[in-house]
Amino acid sequence: MSEKNQVKEFFKLGEVGNYFLNIFRKPDPNKPTNFNLRMMHGINKISILVFLFALIVWTIKRFI
């Protein structure tokens, strides 16, 4: 396998990456939804935002 293909495979997003890219899009009106699913996605959004905020704060503290 060539070096170019290995790098491309390493950065391939897959299902998890696509979830993170699509998490802040509007929901598909054709998909069935319920209260538990909406709460789960809401908590996931909050946890991702808190994690990114903590990562930024940690980076600032580390380099300043």
Cα 42 from Cα 59, distance rounded (Å): 26
Digit-coded pLDDT (tens) for 13-64:
666 666 666 666 676 778 777 888 889 888 988 998 899 899 999 999 999 8
Tokens, residue 35: 């209260």
Domain ranges of the chain: 3-63
pTM: 0.55
Q: Is the dihedral of CA 21, 27, 29, 30 positive or negative?
A: positive
Q: Which of 51, 4, 3 is nearest to 23 (CA)?
A: 51
